[in-house]
């Protein structure tokens, strides 16, 4: 049982490049989330999904897009990366009645 798996684990992008982060969960959770973790700011919610085919904006959605075409996958896209998007990105999933299960994170550096 892998839980929540994120790929890639590390990535370096040049300003203006695009990329997609993949999150996969095998727990049949309805809800999935993307957070970014920055020093001194904790975790901030970027986007989330309450079910297949649905997405919604979180606290810091600008510069990101997401898609949830399959229940088990939640993709986070950066269309034109900026240095301000250098961060550690965490995916999580949950049911309605229990705490979140997190992935191991993706460390993204934009130069």
List contacts with another protein (CB under 8 A): 4, 31, 33, 35, 40-45, 48, 50, 56, 90, 92, 94, 96, 99-105
In the bound state with another protein, the residue whose beta carbon lies nearer, of 44 and 71, is: 44
The Cα 50–Cα 107 span in angstroms is: 25
CB of 46 to another protein, least distance (A): 13
In the bound state with another protein, the residue whose beta carbon lies nearer, of 33 and 110, is: 33
Bond before 16 cis per omega within 30 degrees = no
**CA end-to-end span of the chain:** 36
CB of 72 to another protein, least distance (A): 17
Query: In this structure, what token pair is assigned to residue 31?
Result: 């809800």
CB of 74 to another protein, least distance (A): 12
In the bound state with another protein, the residue whose beta carbon lies nearer, of 54 and 84, is: 54
In the bound state with another protein, the residue whose beta carbon lies nearer, of 48 and 81, is: 48
Is there a contact between 64 and 78 (Cβ–Cβ < 8 Å)?
yes
The Cα 67–Cα 83 span in angstroms is: 23
The Cα 93–Cα 26 span in angstroms is: 10
CB of 97 to another protein, least distance (A): 8
């Amino acid at each position: 049982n892998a839980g929540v798996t994120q790929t890639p684990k590390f990535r370096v992008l040049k300003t203006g490049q695009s990329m997609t982060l993949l999150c996969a969960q095998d727990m049949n959770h309805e809800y999935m989330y993307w957070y970014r973790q920055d020093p001194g700011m904790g975790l901030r919610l970027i986007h989330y999904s309450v079910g297949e085919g649905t997405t919604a904006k979180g606290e810091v959605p600008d510069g990101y897009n997401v898609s949830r075409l399959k229940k088990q996958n939640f993709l986070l896209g950066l269309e034109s990366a900026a240095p301000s998007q250098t961060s550690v990105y965490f995916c999580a999933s949950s049911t309605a009645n229990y705490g979140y299960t997190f992935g191991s994170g993706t460390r993204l550096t934009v130069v």
